[in-house]
Structure 1
């Protein structure tokens, strides 16, 4: 397992519970040291960690890093034995994934893209949604490795299909978070309580993952700690728009959604959790969405 960030670390812990002989590596030595108290084998470098492995999982920041780790001067593909499998679980650009997969396969290796959805909470519980692109026989081969990390695992098509699906899913997620923010701000300004609005929305046709999960757990309690940054979701929307451009499909709303997130991200200097988009809308509406004291007690009891 190469890449032990917010998502990769809990995913690696779930792998360790299910499998022996798991080697872990991260460029940040402090993170790697956290695994010394586990049964993990600590890799000295990405290349040495991958040497001799049957399966290498990548959970890295972006396509550029994936390409460097796989195909660079010290790339892992140079040391892996023929017939081994690389699974890229990062959120990468589909166009880059196709190029990397072709190079890998020319070296006698196999490649799957298998990005995830569900955030840090689901990474910890091992209940991620995993969307896999690549050869079906390799997908079947990967299941015993993916199952400890995911609850819902889908084979969505040929290589790069997983990354395409992930980018489009995150575009939709960003759109409904922004729309829910605007609706709650308007309703609150008109005198409605946000918690009551969510109750109605979640029993009606406007319900979505943001209204059901993100606003109750990260916004109204003012914690804004989903573990997924505004910078990352903005980059994911950009990947999705690249897909619409490549295939010449409509992106009327998607383009607007991107521009709003890009502005909010610029103002936040890429430092904030993506749920702080709600603050961006609050500032425009001159309101603050939060629980009343009574609602806060009810929410805490519900989650305890």
Structure 2
């Protein structure tokens, strides 16, 4: 498949993040092929000018650069296996570079990268930060792991989707960096919640306490961005679910266990995020965890 520009990109997974990235690629001049199992997502893609494909393998057939925006490493493995079975990632197929923006597992990325490189294809672990708004505006931050030659091949697509591209090392490094980052986000949500609960219990409102925190050394992205935009207005619609945050904390703890790194705070944070202690279901937006007014099992006031 060719166009006047000759630049076809594919996006597999057209949820809030994948659709935003596909839209950013379109604005940058790429022709974009996309696939998602949801008919509604396929229809929205068509309306936006993205060529909807019936299968993920059809996306591989159309594009040389393929962006994955999938929930788990297992989904990534399934998509790669299907493309391999279709002959699209063989040694005699045209070179493709896969940009995996999923928050995945370092060891999975390393194995995929090594196997595909042997057959002349690239695989980059490229988890992102910035949420649906960043994806839609092309202002994501990308934590990138992979070989320099494949980074160079993917750079036009990466630059279309991201304002910050941080190549942090070889394959797997991007996943490690993202898990470390999200472990901190989960921890910051808990510590900021506790700070505001204490402030309110002692007579200082959450908004006033945040004004101080955000002018001092206790600030974080949670206090500066998330609370003002999604928690205090009580919209709780950041686009990132509690289930995904739990998954990322679990993966970070598993990574720590595999390398022999003790993380007692992360262990406690994981307990506090658990449904029985937070009262939150996986489908709930993770901003609900920061609600100072919520009556959580873990935060019953002592008498």
Report the TM-score when normalising by structure 2.
0.89
Correspondence for 1:98? 110
Tell me, which stretches of 5 or more residues in structure 2 are unaligned? 1-10
Structure 1 residue corresponding to 2:75, chosen from 41, 65, 83 = 65
Correspondence for 1:297? none
Tell me, which stretches of 5 or more residues in structure 1 are unaligned? 288-304
RMSD (Å) for aligned C-alpha atoms: 2.0
Contact 1:182–1:281 under 8 Å retained in 2: no
Q: Is residue 2:272 matched to residue 1:260?
A: yes
Q: Is residue 2:283 matched to residue 1:237?
A: no
Shift in Å at residue 53 of structure 1?
Answer: 2.1
Contact 1:50–1:76 under 8 Å retained in 2: no
Correspondence for 2:261? 249
Report the TM-score when normalising by structure 1.
0.88
Pairing 1:1-304 to 2, within 5 Å after superposition: 1-72=11-82, 75=84, 78-80=87-89, 81-263=93-275, 267-279=279-291, 282-284=294-296
Contact 2:242–2:281 under 8 Å retained in 1: no
Change in Cα spacing, 1:76 to 1:268, as seen in structure 2 (3 Å) is farther
Q: Distance in 2 between matches of 1:200 and 1:159?
A: 41
- How many residues are matched? 286
Contact 1:101–1:159 under 8 Å retained in 2: yes
- Moved beyond 4 Å, runs of 4+: 74-77, 284-287
Contact 1:69–1:76 under 8 Å retained in 2: no
Change in Cα spacing, 1:264 to 1:106, as seen in structure 2 (3 Å) is farther
Contact 1:46–1:76 under 8 Å retained in 2: no
Change in Cα spacing, 1:233 to 1:281, as seen in structure 2 (3 Å) is farther
User: Which segment drifts farther, 175-184 or 75-84?
Assistant: 75-84
Deviations 1:225-265 (A, max 9, x none): 11100000110011111111111112011111111112368
Change in Cα spacing, 1:192 to 1:263, as seen in structure 2 (3 Å) is same
Q: Distance in 1 between matches of 2:277 and 2:31?
A: 41
